[in-house]
Structure 1
């Protein structure tokens, strides 16, 4: 397969030279936004020409962005044009607001879909959400960039999804890793043969057992690492040796909470600088953990590789494609006077994420707790009411018991 564009096979020297030109321009552009004008007030853009210089700048954390958005809605002063200048405005849990564009590969997802073998002649069943959050539009924009057609399926109504996939002849799936299995199992139950041969997934961990199950069903499944704020950050190729960093972002791995780069190969927090001219996030801390892989991918792409998602720098955990944050657990406790504390536990049941919420309470209504969990955490889960003093005193409010090896 040819590469998406010549940027993917640049030499290290070419990439460094291009960065030396692009980075000062992006810093200067960012400083035209009021938020970055304050944050980078003393920074000379001309001096920021490489990763070492970039590492001297302050880190922007999601909590700071959220606070700024509350003071200066909707984007906190971190975009270079007003909200009405974008094609879309999205809301993610928090709430956090993100801008979106429809220009060619605005989110840079086309690069990943191309690596996954998706292009002209394919019809992508896009099972990422289209409601408020941007994932559906991120992948749709990428599909346009590679010339594929899209069934904007979203989530739910699985029988209709199977029927549409059969009738339309969908050849590729885009969505969270485990929802494809739900569709395939439903199709088997209905006696329907589907034509999926490719899958491009994100929004959760792709477990080796699940990837193998798809391969056994004739489906090649690759994953990307993307966020609502940044779009595509890194992606797998057919080589499946780590994730290749996108050509329009700069990834640093830093000691959590400090912004100081770790030694090569060490695990740390992923900090990303985006070269998107409309939304120039500079040293944005994702809260995700990863590490750099040495060398280049066997597929011929030459950019830096990371090991992929290796957990969270804080307790925030992604369950069923949605982040659950410690502050949400605190809000759940505050909704009911009799609740002493609560603990969210993420597990796997079969090949699906599952969530259990343990509630320390002397009584209360399980049904009322379940409604509050769905309202506050935006997910449904099993409720376990335990006696006061029963939960461990280890400081954890979110416990991820899933295994990623």
Structure 2
């Protein structure tokens, strides 16, 4: 299970970082030239200057809702369905187009293992020459194609099971004897339970790669007890593979084809290692060159190397959603507004806006971590309260707390109201 897909996984971290940063200026220049959305977003940027993580962090974050808005506007104007983010067009270089809720349309390029899923499939224990039962959807969303193309790159044969038809899934598994399953963890559980109900043994299904939903340890252990070693990966329809689990089961290893940043929600500012924030991805995919793409998902960087010998960064996995926008007394309040308040005060280290009470009778309190306690505290609180009103047009209480008081969970806005 510790066999690596290739030598990239065990590179010295400094070698990997140098290679990623060396590729960055070329990718940004490519995006500026071939993807109109980035030609616009990065028009003031000299690509040759982006040679460090600090320089990358100064570029704007393109969040998923902005991608959707730009796609909708572009389609309404009769232009590209991809909103100017794709560097390829219909034809031989784009064999498929997929749709995610929104709808957001994603291109699939013609290169082998376009979504880079072979790495995750190999880490889950699959080998060349095996049959994989793929239960991800093959229509509208790209999940089925993502996994199939990765399996083919690994040298595996695929049964395109898709979703539903549980009894037929059991029959196919019993007769074809696949080495394992790929799909959502909940559907694998349904299949295992259905097989038991039917009295059908599935002795060949000993491993699985799951994704698309939460995979709690309790469900993992339930599968292990039934002879299936299941591992998870984190991927999106925009980026492809972002990170994958290994036999060490200590976080998820970042894929070799992306640059990962963790930023404070509502901003583009990287947070210290270990702090929870929004995952921002820069993809080195030339066909769909997303630069600082905000996934809207929360995670954190884990310190130290993986026991399997893989040397890339590790993340904790999916930890919730970063878009915590909420409505207070008829006004939307965004994480970016909280960040703007914090930036006005050097003494403010971190903040969380807590909304309490009941709908239509709610109140806000901004909890601010600061070392500036004691003398001058009342003045600072008054100034912060004024800034909140200036930025959000709403009144808020201000509570000053010691550094390290706020939970490390990525929340910038906490909706603690009663909805009963």
TM-score (norm 1): 0.77
* Deviation at residue 110 of structure 1 after TM alignment: 0.2
SS at match of 2:185: coil
* Deviation at residue 71 of structure 1 after TM alignment: 2.1
Match of 2:193 in 1: 185
Does the 8 Å CA contact 1:272/1:286 hold for their aligned counterparts?
A: yes
Alpha-carbon distance in 1 for matches of 2:89, 2:70: 15
Q: Which of the residues 254, 271, 284 maps onto 1:262?
A: 271
Q: Which runs of 5+ in 2 are unaligned?
A: 75-79, 326-358, 361-414
Alpha-carbon distance in 1 for matches of 2:110, 2:226: 34
TM-score (norm 2): 0.75
* Deviation at residue 102 of structure 1 after TM alignment: 4.1
Match of 2:226 in 1: 217
Q: Which of the residues 63, 68, 84 maps onto 1:77?
A: 84
* Deviation at residue 50 of structure 1 after TM alignment: 2.2
Instruction: Return 189-198 or 118-127, whichever deviates more.
Output: 118-127
Match of 1:62 in 2: 64
Alpha-carbon distance in 2 for matches of 1:229, 1:16: 23
* Deviation at residue 272 of structure 1 after TM alignment: 0.4
Q: Which runs of 4+ in 1 moved over 4 A?
A: 393-397
Match of 2:211 in 1: 202
Alpha-carbon distance in 1 for matches of 2:201, 2:113: 32
* Deviation at residue 103 of structure 1 after TM alignment: 2.0
Pairing of 1:102-181 with structure 2 (within 5 A): 102-181=110-189
Pairing of 1:375-390 with structure 2 (within 5 A): none
Describe the superposition over 1:354-379 as per-residue Cα deviations: whole angstroms up to 9, x where unpaired.
xxxxxxxxxxxxxxxxxxxxxxxxxx
Alpha-carbon distance in 2 for matches of 1:138, 1:257: 30
* Count of matched residue positions in the alignment of Structure 1 and Structure 2: 324
Does the 8 Å CA contact 1:237/1:299 hold for their aligned counterparts?
A: yes
Alpha-carbon distance in 2 for matches of 1:35, 1:103: 23
Match of 2:26 in 1: 25
Alpha-carbon distance in 1 for matches of 2:164, 2:242: 27
Does the 8 Å CA contact 2:266/2:323 hold for their aligned counterparts?
A: no
Q: Which of the residues 41, 44, 51 maps onto 1:42?
A: 44
Describe the superposition over 1:10-55 as per-residue Cα deviations: whole angstroms up to 9, x where unpaired.
1122112212321111101110111100000011111111222110
Alpha-carbon distance in 2 for matches of 1:395, 1:149: 51
Pairing of 1:265-276 with structure 2 (within 5 A): 265-276=274-285
Match of 1:227 in 2: 236
Q: CA RMSD in A?
A: 1.9
Match of 1:353 in 2: none
Describe the superposition over 1:205-235 as per-residue Cα deviations: whole angstroms up to 9, x where unpaired.
1111110011111111100010000000000
* Deviation at residue 74 of structure 1 after TM alignment: 1.1
